[in-house]
């Protein structure tokens, strides 16, 4: 039991320090030559310093949201939304997306590249501008006007995948020409660390035994108790 608790505490601690979907702001002296990275802390004055085609990042609690600035206080961004599936009424679709619409869009794997005001996109958070340029040194960004045009061409309904086609894939495609997500890569690495840790085998066995004790000995309880630890053992 102590062995399992140690494993759980270690992984939870790793997750809390990992900040799975958040990228740190680093001081300008660490930036490479020619990097256009800069930051804007006040959404109220942001339009005065933003340029059309800038890549915007808005740190959230568990993830970072991305968009492309189009000028005139407008931002193109990919966001899960169930409404394009339910109606063709553009006035309804254009309304600010609620949490319910967002969650249903995630479950239905439907999203939209939409244009919202900067204030709606930021939602009171700070803005990081072209922060990803430093992380993508191997790929030079397109000229800003081309970035904005690529984003505008994709406006509309689009399939969604939390890991394989999210808002970060959208902006990296627009700015660098290839759709990538560092958030997805970090999440996959985190899952690998759990699978490779052989204590997860012991923990899965313990949970399986508890499951059998609670619900009785049956194929629905016995098979997972055997197969899950075996799979973890072979994958570790």
Compute the distance between CA of residue 13 and CA of residue 89 in angstroms, rounded to an integer: 46
Q: Are 159 and 110 in contact (CB under 8 A)?
A: yes
Q: Are 153 and 76 in contact (CB under 8 A)?
A: no
Which of the residues 106, 167, 174, 214 is marked catalytic? Answer: 167
Compute the distance between CA of residue 43 and CA of residue 121 in angstroms, rounded to an integer: 10
Compute the distance between CA of residue 215 and CA of residue 229 in angstroms, rounded to an integer: 19
Q: Are 4 and 199 in contact (CB under 8 A)?
A: yes
Strand-pair category, 55-59 with 127-129: antiparallel
Q: Are 40 and 127 in contact (CB under 8 A)?
A: yes
Clarify whether 35 is annotated catalytic.
Answer: no
Per DSSP, helices labelled H in 35-94 are 46-49, 83-86, 90-94
Name 96's Cβ contacts closer than 8 Å, sequence gap at least 6.
116, 120
Residues in the chain: 236
Report the catalytic residues. Answer: 167
């Amino acid at each position: 039991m102590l062995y399992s608790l140690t494993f759980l505490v270690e992984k939870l601690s790793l997750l809390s320090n990992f900040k799975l979907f958040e990228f740190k702001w680093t001081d300008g002296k660490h930036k490479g030559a020619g990097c256009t990275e800069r930051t804007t802390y006040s959404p109220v004055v942001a339009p005065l310093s933003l340029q059309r085609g800038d890549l915007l990042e808005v740190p959230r609690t568990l993830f970072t949201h991305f968009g492309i600035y189009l000028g005139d206080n407008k931002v193109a961004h990919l966001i899960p939304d169930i409404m394009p599936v339910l109606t063709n009424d553009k006035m309804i679709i254009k309304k600010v997306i609620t949490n319910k619409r967002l969650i249903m869009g995630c479950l239905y794997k439907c999203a939209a590249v939409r244009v919202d005001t900067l204030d709606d996109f930021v939602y009171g958070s700070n803005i990081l501008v072209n922060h990803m340029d430093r992380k993508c040194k191997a790929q030079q960004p397109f000229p800003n006007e081309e970035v904005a045009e690529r984003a505008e061409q994709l406006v509309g309904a689009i399939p969604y995948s939390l890991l394989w086609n999210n808002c970060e894939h959208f902006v990296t495609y627009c700015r660098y020409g290839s759709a990538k997500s560092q958030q997805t890569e970090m999440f996959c690495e985190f899952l690998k660390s759990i699978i490779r840790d052989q204590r997860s085998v012991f923990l899965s066995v313990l949970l399986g035994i508890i499951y059998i004790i609670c619900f009785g000995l049956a194929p629905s309880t016995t098979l997972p108790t055997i197969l899950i630890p075996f799979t973890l053992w072979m994958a570790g």
